[in-house]
Amino acid sequence: MEPLNKSLLRSLPKVDDLLKNPSILELMPKIPRTVIVDAVRRAIEVKRQEILAGSYTGGPEDLEQLVVQKAIELSKEEIKPNLRRVINATGVVLHTNLGRALLSCSAKEAVEAVASSYCNLEINLNSGKRGSRYEPVEELITRLTGAEAALVVNNNAAAVLLALGTMAKGKEVIVSRGQLVEIGGSFRIPEVMAQSGALLVEVGATNKTHPQDYQKAITAETALLLHVHTSNYRIVGFTRETTVEELVQIGAERQIPVMSDLGSGFLVDLAPYGLPQEPSVQEVVAAGADVVTFSGDKLLGGPQAGIIVGKRKWIDQMKKNPLTRAIRINKFTVAALEATLREYIDQDNVLKNIPTIRMLTEAPAAVKDRAEKLLALLKEKITSPAQIDLAPGTSQVGGGSMPTAELPTYLVTCVAEHLSVEELSVRLRLAEPAVVGRVQDNKYQVDLRTVQPEEIEPLADVMSRIINSREGTGR
Ligand SMILES: *Cc1c(COP(=O)(O)O)cnc(C)c1O
């Protein structure tokens, strides 16, 4: 070993001394001591390795400061939460990988109110006796949907599992071949059916299923006619699906209940805002379906939940199924769902206050305002050569809902001269706040439909910081 290395190694600061360094002491109230001590040890080790590898270029007198800097960086990295907020610049409103629906302010406040307080989750404050956790939302759901009874479980996949297991365990369930859908990876109708203990009876063809197909398939073992809303894809052209109304008619003749899995059930008509005409939960209930299931965090715009509405006879049986206990909702879901549903009492509030609905129905001109604001800020802040433009584009509903809907939107597109589009995308993902946008046509694209007004400034800051800096990601 060269003498220079030896003297550098000897100059490496000691853990105990570093723990008295003012910059390190400053971290103490905010970061656990054990994390800091560990970071200091690792920081010394990093510098030791640099010295041994001959890549350390500073002098012995710089070592303490460099180790301190590294230790601060490592400490901060260590306490950074693994789950953190992300600016959604994809334009996909119900982005399942980004957590689907944003809660309304009222829902957020309702969650906060019960988070670190006790609440009357299962106690009836009038009688002082045991109450049901479903009570706060049941009445609202039945009022809004017109159904006799309601139950809420962890998510819609669980709702379907519970409904099938309760209504058709060991019996046959008839489903159209055109409705044997897969919804995001692990939820496939045939597999959920197998899990529930019900036996799948497929009828019709991929593109066409007629009422007679169901009628012919009915046996003494038939327990249910299932209609699945093929929410995430469309078969177009020579097609025919049997409607819920037709199934209800067949079911009535043969005394067999009908269930409709709506997936992204919604309570307000979005067709006036340019979205596809699809049946609402109320319409499917009114059509006579015995049981209807839908998600809480798709078009309803609430917390993750699976909402089951329908005839009291079936809902009561589901409540008694032991599976219900395993997939029950927690107090946060009850709080957020109640507040979300209360917004639906007045339709004007829905459009204003439910972020999902607000984003889906927002006029392109309003999105353009935000795009122009971001564009102006970027032009002001970015000093490195880059091409920043405003362009029209299309946003998607997402969450497997309304796959054919194209929402006109505005994008801010960005190409930096010294940074590839891929690299820019990676660095924005790793930044604070993290940003997830689109890479298309060799441009980084920010779709303003899903960027909230208060996120414009932080977004401009983080984008300009990355484009202006010339360091690599080290990846
Ligand atoms: C999304 C969806 C589900 C699953 O709902 P989760 O709330 O994601 O569990 C089930 N069925 C249909 C038709 C869906 O669209």
Residues 125 and 56 occupy one common structural domain: no
Ligand 1 pocket test target in 161, 187, 230 with most atoms within 8 Å of CB: 187
Instruction: Indicate whether 24 and 171 sit together in one domain.
Output: no
What's 461's domain CATH number? 3.90.1150.180
- Shared domain check, 443 and 403: yes
Distance 259 CA to ligand 1 centre (A): 14
Q: How far apart are CA 122 and CA 338, in angstroms?
A: 15
Q: What does the alpha-carbon distance between residue 127 and residue 129 come to, in Å, rounded to a whole number?
A: 5
What pLDDT shows up at residue 185? 63
Residues 292 and 382 in one domain: no
Give yes or no: residues 311 and 167 share one domain.
Answer: yes
Asked which of 331, 353, 375 is the last residue of a domain, the reply is 353
Is residue 473 assigned to a domain? no
Does a structural domain hold residue 391?
Answer: yes
Domain assignment of residue 276, given as a range: 105-353
Regarding whether 301 and 267 lie in a shared domain, the answer is yes
For the beta carbon of residue 129, count every other beta carbon within 10 angstroms. 8
Mean per-residue pLDDT, 429-440 = 96
| pLDDT given at position 416 | 95
- 140 and 202 belong to one structural domain: yes
Domain boundary residue, one of 301, 325, 353: 353
Find residue 187's DSSP bridge partners.
183
C-alpha separations of 80 from 40, 430, 434 in Å: 17, 12, 12
Examine the fold and report which residue of 15, 45, 79 is the final residue of a domain before the chain moves on: 79
Grade residue 474 by pLDDT with cuts at 50, 70 and 90: very low
Whether 231 lines ligand 1, by a CB cut-off of 6 Å, is yes
Q: Let me know whether 199 and 330 are in one domain.
A: yes
If asked whether residues 342 and 450 sit together in one domain, one would say no
Domain annotation covers residue 236: yes
Q: How many whole angstroms from 264 Cα to the centroid of ligand 1?
A: 7
Q: What is the residue with the minimal CA distance to atom 15 of ligand 1?
A: 263
Whether 156 and 274 map to the same domain: the answer is yes
Among protein residues, the one with the nearest Cα to ligand 1's atom 12 is: 263
Q: Identify whether residues 320 and 410 lie together within a single domain.
A: no
Q: Is residue 475 part of a domain?
A: no
Q: Does residue 188's CB lie within 6 angstroms of at least one atom of ligand 1?
A: no
What are 439-473's pLDDT values in tens digits?
999 999 999 999 999 999 999 999 999 999 966 54
DSSP-based three-state secondary structure for 416: strand
The CA radius of gyration of the chain, in Å to the nearest whole number, is 28
Identify whether residues 187 and 232 lie together within a single domain. Answer: yes
Instruction: Name the pTM for this structure.
Output: 0.92
102 Cβ closer than 6 Å to some ligand 1 atom: no
Residue nearest atom 2 of ligand 1, based on CA coordinates = 263
Number of C-alpha atoms within 13 angstroms, CB side, residue 31?
Answer: 24
Cβ neighbour number for residue 7 with a 10 Å cutoff: 11
In this predicted structure, what is the pLDDT of residue 5? Answer: 83
Pocket flag, ligand 1, residue 157 (CB < 6 Å) = yes
294 CA → ligand 1 middle, Å: 7
Region 427-434: what's the mean pLDDT?
Answer: 96
Number of folded domains that form the chain: 3
Name the residue with the closest Cα to ligand 1, atom 14: 263
What CATH number is associated with residue 186? 3.40.640.10
Measure 406 CA to ligand 1 centroid, in angstroms: 21
Element (H, E) at 414: strand 407-416
Q: What is the mean pLDDT of residues 110-114?
A: 98
265 in ligand 1 pocket by Cβ < 6 Å? no
